[in-house]
Amino acid sequence: MKISMELIVVTGDLLDQKVEAIINPWNRNLIPWWLLIPKGVSGAIKRRAGFGPFIELRRAGTLALGASVVTSAGRLPFKAIIHVAGIGHNWCSSEKSIRSSVKSALDDARSRGFASVALPLIGAGTGGGSEESVQKLIEDECRHSNYGGKIVIVRYKPLPWASGDCYCSLWESAPDTLEKKGIPKGYCGLCDVCGAPGHLRHFPGSAPFTGGWCKKHYYRAMFLHPMGTIGTLVWVAGILAIIIFVKRLLG
């Protein structure tokens, strides 16, 4: 019997889709979620759903490439979030990781009885794949799936930002680079955590258009994240203190 599957492609925001479950492109769950500063879909989910889904995800342990985990949707209006390991150890996607992720997610959606799912272009953002090639792989895998519900492939389109008052000299020195990054004129960057445009504070030594944080998230990244300039020193000092304490305790 032929399974009736509806496949559509839309442009917009994954979290605004009227579906029962969404698919979140994740990693292999090697690094604790609270050490990561997720971007894109995962970052948006973390902001709007809360920490709950990611705490559940952490309990699943390390994931095989392309594997999936189903969690609650937190504060989001969905029945569930299906997280997939769409990128490998090198933080890049491949045809195998994309196809396996789509298959695993749709198998979960089918077994759980979700009538509709929405997914972004898995492997296109952080994974480095081109949107066109990734979309073709996803569409092909969907058509070969046994899932019989509605599948919505979402091509992300950011909301337009109004021009700000804070003009940065980078628009004079590197306007093409900033424009290609989607940074609106009047700002010097987008916060890696919340995506808000602004005159960002960047880690010392980093090019202003490669990564930045708004004032709220800059200090969190600097002091708490192990990749932060000060955070690195804090974490190294903390580890050394623990080692010294353990040695004295045992000695």
Mark whether 42 and 74 lie in a shared domain.
yes
Mark whether 31 and 117 lie in a shared domain.
yes
- Work out the angle at residue 153's Cα, subtended by the Cα atoms of residues 151 and 158, and round it to the nearest 5 degrees: 145
For the stretch 212-245, pLDDT in tens is: 666 677 666 666 555 555 556 777 888 899 999 8
* 189 φ/ψ angles, rounded to the nearest 5 degrees: 180, 175
66 CA to centre of own chain: 15
Kindly write down the DSSP assignment for every residue of 227-246, as one continuous string.
Answer: TSHHHHHHHHHHHHHHHHHH
**Tally of domains within the chain:** 2
Percentage of the chain modeled with pLDDT above 90: 46
Mark whether 20 and 65 lie in a shared domain.
yes
pLDDT-based confidence at residue 2 (cuts at 50, 70, 90): very low
Residue 168 lies in a domain: yes
Mark whether 144 and 174 lie in a shared domain.
no
pTM given for the model: 0.68
For the stretch 149-186, pLDDT in tens is: 999 999 987 666 566 655 566 677 767 767 766 777 77
Alpha-carbon span 202 to 191, nearest angstrom: 10
Task: Give the mean pLDDT of 10-23.
Answer: 95
pLDDT-based confidence at residue 208 (cuts at 50, 70, 90): very low
Mark whether 12 and 92 lie in a shared domain.
yes
Host domain of residue 24: 6-156
Q: Residue 115 belongs to a domain with what CATH number?
A: 3.40.220.10
In terms of Cα–Cα distance, which of 37, 162, 147 is closest to 82? 147
Mark whether 11 and 106 lie in a shared domain.
yes
Residue ending a domain, among 104, 127, 156, is 156
Half-sphere exposure of 32 (CA within 13 A, CB side): 4
Residue ending a domain, among 156, 186, 206, is 156
Alpha-carbon span 108 to 104, nearest angstrom: 6
For the stretch 72-98, pLDDT in tens is: 999 999 999 999 999 987 878 999 999
